[in-house]
């Protein structure tokens, strides 16, 4: 698990350095076997240390290390819903958080697919109703949304995104933030989002068996 611990520290520091979080907000988790490593409570991502991470079991019970982030249940719920995912990143990045606060937010397509990389790394984006930070009553809503998409937007809060590893989850978080920024920059202007056909063409194609 040493390699996983180093990855958590590296990505946590990268998230803070890229300005995707502020203060002591944001948290991340990585799964290895039946254990989940999560960032501890009350620690800025800039100061996360590989030696001081919380260890949970698959049900979210605290096994060792410092007390986990109060939002650890979000990570556990997403990982439970998505067996192929091994990492989750949650930030309060400015433009994605601003998007989550819009009164007229489209619940079906909260962010139009303005770029190909958004289509490849994020879409579809699922909206989760508002719950107070740390309110474990959100568990069911988060888990249900995560069965439909690896990318969630918590109302009046921010994104929670899963990936096959921490780097993939971080790429998706950054792509969501970038596209949300473009969305606000083009507000009031006519845009040309990608079509359903464009999005379909971006998805990995099934491997073709060679013909004899």
Q: Is the dihedral of CA 26, 14, 49, 79 positive or negative?
A: positive
How far apart are the C-alpha atoms of 25 and 7, rounded to whole Å?
19
By annotation, the residues acting in catalysis are 71, 117
What sign results for the dihedral spanned by CA atoms 47, 172, 83, 156? positive
Q: How far apart are CA 14 and CA 10, in angstroms?
A: 6
DSSP notation for 17-73: HTTS--TT--EEEEEETTEEEEPBTT--GGG--TTS-EEEETT--EEESSPBPTTHH
Measured distance between the N- and C-terminal CA atoms of the chain, rounded to whole angstroms: 45
Could you tell me which residues come within 8 angstroms of residue 36 by beta carbon, excluding any fewer than 6 positions away? 29, 30, 55, 56, 57, 58, 60, 72, 75, 76, 79
Q: Which residue has the tokens 């698990």?
A: 1
As given in the structure block, the two tokens for residue 109 are 């397509």
């Amino acid at each position: 698990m040493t390699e996983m611990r180093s990855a958590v520290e590296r990505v946590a520091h990268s998230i803070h350095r890229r300005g995707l979080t502020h203060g002591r907000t944001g948290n991340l988790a990585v799964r290895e076997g039946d254990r989940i490593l999560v960032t501890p409570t009350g620690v800025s991502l800039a100061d996360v240390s590989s030696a001081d991470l919380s260890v949970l079991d698959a049900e979210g019970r605290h096994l060792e290390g410092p007390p986990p982030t109060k939002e650890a249940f979000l990570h556990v719920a997403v990982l439970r819903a998505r067996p192929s995912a091994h990492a989750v990143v949650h930030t309060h990045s400015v433009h994605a958080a601003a998007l989550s606060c819009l009164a007229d937010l489209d619940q079906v397509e909260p962010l139009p697919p303005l770029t190909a990389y958004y289509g490849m790394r994020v879409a579809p984006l699922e909206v989760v109703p508002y719950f107070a930070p740390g309110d474990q009553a959100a568990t069911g809503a988060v888990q249900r949304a995560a069965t439909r998409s690896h990318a969630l937007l918590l109302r009046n809060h921010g994104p929670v995104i899963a990936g096959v590893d921490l780097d993939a989850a971080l790429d998706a978080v950054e792509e969501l933030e970038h596209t949300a920024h473009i969305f606000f920059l083009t507000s009031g202007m006519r845009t040309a989002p990608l079509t359903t056909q464009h999005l379909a063409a971006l998805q990995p194609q099934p491997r073709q068996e060679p013909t004899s």
